[in-house]
Structure 1
Amino acid sequence: MSEHDNTLLPELIRDLIKDRRASRRLKLLKYSFWGTGLLLVAGAVLVEHLQLDEADEAKQITAVIQVRGEIADGAEANAAALKKAIGRAFDDERAKAVVLKINSPGGSPVQAGQVFDEIKRQRGLHPKVPVYAVIEDLGASGAYYIAAAADEIVADKASLVGSIGVTAASFGFVDLMNRVGVERRAYTSGAHKAFLDPFQPKNPEETVFWNDVLKQTHQQFIQSVKTGRGDRLKDADHPELFSGLIWTGEQAKQLGLIDKLGDVDYVARDLVGATSQVDFTVKDNAFDRFAKRLGASAAQQVSMALGFSGVSLR
């Protein structure tokens, strides 16, 4: 064998070893590629599965709307904002139920009545979505008016519930004006246009008229409560039920003013079956609140300065 043959053989062996090593590396690369691909596919399937589970859970929510503070035009709890929130909550396909989270002393019968009517209207449009009212510390007067529209009312045993009545307050300054020697000059057209003027003596006829207005407003309140509560009122003819008295949650349950004792978490978990709570409350920013109050408060401040607070469910 020649010297050339002796050097060629080792080179062939080295080349063969290199080819085999390259082939093994290629196979390892292919296996790694396919393995990584399979892992990515498996991961994607797992993620999609988890996302579907989360999506399914997200489809079942308890829509919460807060009714806090005075119910009045320009206040946080005003009819326009509450009606908008109620509409959004009912229109959300994920909402399994709507919960009114109430902590309010009441307020305007007009604002409360509009919210009551909107709840009833939305319930007619969405018969499968129940409404729960949850009274926290206080659900009195106009706040209870709103709660009465719910399918069920829940409160804590120590919550204050009820105060189903109407009030309108003012002051009389006639004697004070006489003492300081100030003469009141008022020019009106219409015999009774100034019948709420605190600087004029009370007129018995006008007092009777105003009491009739309050009684009619009270009857509207009572009728709405009876419509909302129905047979759940244990004694609709109870002499004190609509007298303006306020009851603890425990007493209110005995009277049929509420259905159960509990809180929002209890309602979402045990009654609705959707623990995910989403707040639909419409909240104005600071500028909007200021602008609304600036417009609404001018007339209110003049009225209050004259000693008349207006009709209120409190």
Structure 2
Amino acid sequence: MSRKDTLVSRIPKLGERVERKDVVSVVKLHGVITPQASPLSARGSINLAAVESALKRAFSHERLQAVALQINSPGGAPTQSGLVAERIRQLADEKGVPVLAFAEDVAASGGYWLACAADEIYAHRTSMVGSIGVISGSFGFAQLLERFGVERRLYTAGENKSRLDPFSPEKPEDVEWLRSMHSQLHEMFVDWVKQRRGARLRDSEDLFSGDIWLGAKAVELGLVDGLGNLRDVVEKRFPDAEITVAEPKKPLLARLGMASPAAAVLQALEHRAAWSRFGL
């Protein structure tokens, strides 16, 4: 049979029913979780606007058996973490399909928040998982301005409008306010993990300390359900299913690398620092 005849034989005949395979959709959630995409970040960014179309595609298949989240994120903005996780749960409940999360290099902080949107979580034995805590940082330039004779002029309406201004001396009451905000966010994070992981969590005083663990210890603590990679687990659980990937699209300016140079470089440094906390 010629190549032409072979190709023609594979074309469905009129009225012939085409058998469609079951599908497991994979959504790649890679990068720092941030409201804005970084045009200079090689590892991408995660936010609701960036992943919405990919999530819709992933959950839209007729013969959908499950959705797999491929997570590689050191965390980031808590609001975007919550928005993406809630959207995943909304679509999963609408379609009535299981969601499986797979931690790659790291699923920490907001990255673990995303993983908890899944019904089951798996990690590689070398994956870094956890970091259930809240962190923020800044710099103080008050003495630098004084050294160079620069006068700071700041005008506000509202006594707390200039909290934590980096060009003003740090105030104890501002630090206490920030710690209160951190405590509230931490409590929300802990509640989310407990809600999603339930009785699978082990009783450990370190569980919500902000610490991070490798895959096997994360299994022991109940943070993940088992060790394994996406392809092996999916092929075992859904042997007749076809794996399709729905990868978030980068904004046009990010794809072209066009943005404010100063802002882009600063954001790239912030993303690099987020990964560096985990040696990546």
Asked if these proteins are the same fold (TM beyond 0.5), I'd say yes
Aligned-residue CA RMSD in angstroms?
3.1
1:92 corresponds to which of 42, 46, 61: 61
Matched, 1:65 2:27: yes
Shift of 1:44: 6.7
Deviation at 1:210, TM superposition (A): 1.2
Residue in 2 aligned with 1:13? none
Give 1:289 deviation, angstroms.
2.1
Matched, 1:210 2:172: no
CA distance in 2, matches of 1:240, 1:77: 28
> Which secondary structure state, in structure 2, belongs to the residue aligned with residue 102 of structure 1?
strand
Q: What is the aligned partner in structure 2 of residue 148 from structure 1?
A: 116
- Pick one of 136, 141, 155 that aligns with 1:168: 136
1:103 matched to 2:72:
yes
- Residue of structure 2 in register with 1:139 after alignment: 107
Q: 1:200 to 1:143 in 2, by over 3 A?
A: same
Q: Give the direction of change, closer, same or farther, for the CA distance of 1:213–1:228 in structure 2 (3 Å limit).
A: same
Contact 1:74 1:289 in 2 (8 A): no
2:202 corresponds to which of 234, 240, 248: 234
Q: CA deviation at 1:88?
A: 2.1
Residues of 2 paired with 1:72 and 1:230: CA distance? 28
| Alpha-carbon distance, 1:293 to partner | 7.5
Residue in 1 that maps onto 2:40: none
User: Helix, strand or coil: the match of 1:294?
Assistant: coil
| 2:82 match: secondary structure | helix
Which residue, 71, 82, 100 being the options, matches 1:113?
A: 82
1:70 & 1:197 partners in 2: Cα distance? 25
AA in 1 matched with 2:25: A
Deviation of 1:180 after TM superposition, in Å, equals: 2.6
Q: Tell me the equivalent position of 2:219.
A: 253
Higher strand share: 2
Counterparts in 2 of 1:266 and 1:151: CA distance versus 1, 3 Å: same
The one-letter code matched in structure 1 to 2:24 is T
The alpha-carbon deviation at position 278 of structure 1 amounts to 0.5
In the TM superposition, structure 1's runs of 4+ consecutive aligned residues that sit over 4 Å from their partners are 43-48, 290-293, 297-302
* Structure 1: unaligned runs, 5 residues or longer: 1-39
TM-score by length of 1: 0.73
Q: Which protein is bigger by CA-based radius of gyration?
A: 1
Q: Is the 8 A contact 2:21 2:241 kept in 1?
A: no
Q: Deviations over 1:208-242 (max 9, x none)?
A: 1111111111111111111111111122xx22111
Q: Which amino acid aligns with 1:73?
A: P
The CA distance in 1 between the partners of 2:175 and 2:202, in whole Å, is: 35
- Pick from 286, 289, 292: which aligns with 2:254? 289
CA distance in structure 1 between the partners assigned to 2:10 and 2:53 by the alignment: 40
Letter in 1 for 2:211: L
Q: Is the 8 A contact 1:61 1:278 kept in 2?
A: yes
Identity of aligned residues (%): 40
1:81-131 per-residue CA deviation (whole Å, 9 max, x = no partner) reads 22332222112113211000011111111111001111111122122x100
Q: Residues of 1 paired with 2:56 and 2:81: CA distance?
A: 16
Cα distance 1:157–1:223, how it changes in 2: closer, same or farther (>3 A)? same
- Normalising by structure 2, what TM-score? 0.81
C-alpha separation between the residues in 1 aligned to 2:257 and 2:159? 34
Mapping for residues 169-188 of structure 1, pairs under 5 Å: 169-188=137-156
- Deviation, 1:151, is 0.6
Q: Matches of 1:267 and 1:293 in 2, distance apart?
A: 39
Q: Which residue of 1 aligns with 2:94?
A: 125
Indicate the residue corresponding to 1:16 in structure 2.
none
Aligned equivalents of 1:274, 1:241: Cα separation in 2: 38
* 2:46 equivalent to 1:77: yes
Residue-by-residue CA offset, 1:158-203 (whole Å, 9 max, x unaligned): 1111111111101112223233322211111110111121111122
Equivalent pairs counted in the alignment come to 256
**TM-aligned CA distance change 1:270 to 1:170, over 3 Å:** same
> In the aligned structure 2, how far is the partner of 1:232 from the partner of 1:281?
30
The structure-2 alpha-carbon separation of the partners of 1:174 and 1:101, relative to structure 1 and needing over 3 Å to count, comes to same
